[in-house]
Amino acid sequence: MTLSQLLGPTGFVRAEASSIVACASRAPSIHNTQPWRWTFDGHVLDLRADRTRQLHVADRDGHSLLISCGAAAELTALALRTHGWTSNVSVLPDVTDPDLLVRFTLTGRDQSDPQAAGMVTVAAGRRSERRAFGPGPVAVEVIDRLREAAQFAGVYAHFPSRAEEMVELAVVVSSADRFQRADPLFAAEVASWRRDGADDGIPDSVIPEVPAHSPRHTDMPLRDFEAGIAGSQLITAGADEKPLIAVIFTDTDTSADRLNAGRAMMRLMIQAELDGIASCPLSQSVDLLAFRTRLRTLMSWNGHPQMMLRLGHRPAGHPAPLTARRPVDDVLTMT
């Protein structure tokens, strides 16, 4: 008997696959490009890169695409476990087809995993928090849990805390930020993904309003999505922002490492949410290979920095609305 027969009527399987992909699509992606698609034949669920959605300027080598798809792969794995599916997971299973990123081969049916279900629920309500975080440092035991969550398949997280390290890091991030802002092609690409009422891109409603006369005081500059136009999310005036910074590393720098770094980032973000901590990717200094190399050299890090996040206590007040995703039918093909 085939697995699809075991799993019951085709309509049921299709509905479950749609639900899994809907969960997985809540993953964060650079500029909310959602550079992914899935195919499902009743037995094998494939996650593929959608290269038509790769950023040509900010993501020339497809690094951020792989991080984004890694996050989607992690949510796919969690959603499968939530639905009680067991699966074998292979990363980049076909050397002749590099856009086939992760293959989930269904192996059978088990109980729904309550821990995975809880994580999927948290991921569904997560959003990138771009306001100033609430006051106070993140507790050491929470940082330990975040570190543990990100420890996955050769990936690890580091939380710089020494004053000199923070200063050096801020300098590198600022210079990457300035470099990108000064590039008209980069600015044009960001502007092209600023969209209201769309099912991808970044709407005004999630971008902070930063009045020109009152710039943010932050240890680490945020990516500026404003391009001269104020967003609509109010931030606390005069806050002296000292976010917790997480850097996600791998020992080597293969495509599989980048996918796994994306999976680890998703795990870290979910653990943060479970601990009442909000997060936002901060990727200016890791978008491009040249920046990553410079960052690694200047910081004298052994590992390869793949991703940076800022984290802190969830701020008071209304959070930004959830950013939209494309309908499942646009990203899932069932055969």
Two structure tokens written together for 58: 């900010």
Q: Is 281 in the site for ligand FMN (CB under 6 A)?
A: yes
Whole-number Å distance between alpha carbons of 273 and 150: 14
Interhelix angle for 140-150 vs 255-274, to 10°?
A: 150
> Strands, DSSP E only, in 283-326?
304-313
Q: Is 70 in the site for ligand FMN (CB under 6 A)?
A: no
Which residue in 7, 20, 24, 30 binds ligand FMN (CB under 6 A)?
30
**Are 188 and 281 contacting, i.e. CB atoms less than 8 angstroms apart?**
no
Residue 86 burial by Cβ neighbours in a 10 Å radius (0-12, 13-18, 19+): middle
Region binding ligand FMN by CB under 6 A among candidate stretches 43-51, 145-153, 178-186, 280-288 = 280-288
Minimal distance, residue 54 CB to ligand FMN, in Å: 12
Two structure tokens written together for 5: 């027969």
Residue 314 burial by Cβ neighbours in a 10 Å radius (0-12, 13-18, 19+): middle
User: How far does CA 24 lie from the centroid of its chain?
Assistant: 11
Whole-number Å distance between alpha carbons of 147 and 52: 34
Region binding ligand FMN by CB under 6 A among candidate stretches 22-30, 44-52, 232-240, 243-251 = 22-30
- Residue 137-176 contact track with ligand FMN, rule CB under 6 A, x = bound: ----------------------------------------
Nearer to ligand FMN, 13 or 259 (CB): 259
Residue 22 burial by Cβ neighbours in a 10 Å radius (0-12, 13-18, 19+): middle
Strand partners, 142: none
| CA 335 to each of CA 83, 98, 105: distance values in angstroms, whole numbers, following the listed order | 20, 21, 15
Which residue in 60, 109, 127, 195 binds ligand FMN (CB under 6 A)?
127
Which residue in 21, 24, 25, 31 binds ligand FMN (CB under 6 A)?
31
Which residue in 23, 323, 331, 332 binds ligand FMN (CB under 6 A)?
323
Considering only residues 205 through 224, tell me which ones interact with ligand FMN, judged by CB under 6 A: 222-223
Whole-number Å distance between alpha carbons of 151 and 246: 13
Q: Is 180 in the site for ligand FMN (CB under 6 A)?
A: no
H-helix or E-strand containing 279?
Answer: strand 277-281
Q: Is 53 in the site for ligand FMN (CB under 6 A)?
A: no
Considering only residues 283 through 302, tell me which ones interact with ligand FMN, judged by CB under 6 A: 283-284
Minimal distance, residue 31 CB to ligand FMN, in Å: 6
Minimal distance, residue 68 CB to ligand FMN, in Å: 4
Minimal distance, residue 326 CB to ligand FMN, in Å: 12
Residue nearest to ligand FMN (CB): 28
Q: Is 67 in the site for ligand FMN (CB under 6 A)?
A: yes
Q: Is 54 in the site for ligand FMN (CB under 6 A)?
A: no
Q: Is 128 in the site for ligand FMN (CB under 6 A)?
A: yes
Tell me which residues touch ligand FMN (CB under 6 A): 28-32, 64, 67-68, 71, 127-128, 130, 202, 222-223, 280-284, 323
